[in-house]
Amino acid sequence: MRQTDFLYFTSASYFWRFGDSDEFRKYVDLDIEKLKAGEYKCVHRNLVSQLQQRVPLDSSVKLYPFSLQKGANINGVIFGASHPLAVDKFLDVGWRLNNINGEANFDIDDDAAKAQGHLFESNLTKKESFQKVLREKVLAGEIANNKQAYDFALGEGHPARHANETLQQMKRGGEVEFESRSPLINYVQVYRKKRLESFKVE
């Protein structure tokens, strides 16, 4: 159905141990070698990457993981939706549960260490990497309005507020200009009211 969302539970250890078995392959035939090539803690991220490739090209369904660590075990949920508001709500909850990465109840990418910084290192956190790419795309004219910024944020697994923060900072820094007080990067303005706020690169 066009706007049916779904959420299902997955156990990382089950895929890790039994993914090559006939019982698993009967329902979910995955490249287990590729799945195991990454770190065990990232199994849901890698699982979603493979599953997303099987979604038909004409489908707008997007998949998002959230991993849950308890002791040595890592379980998780995979959320799927085609409606932007559903995706928006899921990502907002994920990032409020963990404002470091929004993808797990633990520091899956060691972003806390990156955030502390080092004089000779330039490792960026997940949020910083996203905001850097968004800024570059805006300056290059690839993202020229609030709808493009909103869709880009959701596609990259970030809530709209991360994109809003970036554009606000760019406006304060004199890099871009827009007419409204805010860049209007949210579901209500983009999809419900259909307000298009253009970004003018200074």
pLDDT tens-digit map of 22-73: 988 888 788 888 888 888 898 889 989 999 998 888 888 999 999 999 988 8
In this structure, the answer to whether residues 138 and 77 fall within a common structural domain is: no
Question: Alpha-carbon distance 108 to 42, whole Å?
Answer: 7
From 37-51, 85-99, 109-123, 127-141, the region with the lowest mean pLDDT: 109-123
Q: Which domain holds residue 64?
A: 6-82
Between residues 163 and 31, which one has the greater pLDDT? 163
What does pTM read for this prediction? 0.88
**End residue of a domain, out of 52, 82, 112:** 82
Please report which confidence band the pLDDT of residue 117 belongs to, taking 50, 70 and 90 as the band edges. Answer: low
Residue 165 in domain: yes
Contact 62, 52 (CB under 8 A): yes
Short-list 43, 50, 56, 48, CA closest to 14: 43
Residue 200: which pLDDT band, with cuts at 50, 70 and 90? very high
Q: Specify if 107 maps to a domain.
A: no
186: exposed, middle or buried (C-beta count within 10 Å: 0-12, 13-18, 19+)? buried
| Domain contains 76 | yes
Domains in the chain, number: 2
pLDDT reported for residue 36? 84
Confidence band for 115, pLDDT divided at 50, 70 and 90? low
Residue 184, in any domain of the structure: yes
DSSP state of 104: B
Q: What is the pLDDT of residue 118?
A: 54
Alpha helices in the chain, H assignment, sequence order? 12-18, 22-25, 32-37, 43-54, 84-97, 111-116, 126-139, 146-155, 160-172, 187
* In a domain? residue 185: yes
Backbone angles phi, psi at 58, to 5 degrees: -90, 5
Q: Of the candidates 82, 114, 144, which is a domain's last residue? A: 82
Would you say residue 119 has pLDDT above 60? no
Please check whether residue 99 lies inside any domain of the structure: no
- Does a structural domain hold residue 113? no
Q: Do residues 70 and 81 make contact, with C-beta atoms less than 8 angstroms apart?
A: no
Q: What type of residue sits at position 149?
A: A
Q: Which of 19, 47, 82 is the last residue of a domain?
A: 82
How would residue 116 be classed by pLDDT, with cut points 50, 70 and 90? Answer: low
Query: Same domain, yes or no, for 73 and 136?
Result: no
pLDDT tens string 8-19: 898 888 888 888
The answer as to whether 27 is a domain residue is yes
Backbone angles phi, psi at 16, to 5 degrees: -65, -40
What integer best gives the mean pLDDT of the chain? 91
Q: By the 8 A CB rule, do 176 and 138 touch?
A: yes
Asked whether the predicted pLDDT for residue 169 surpasses 80, the reply is yes
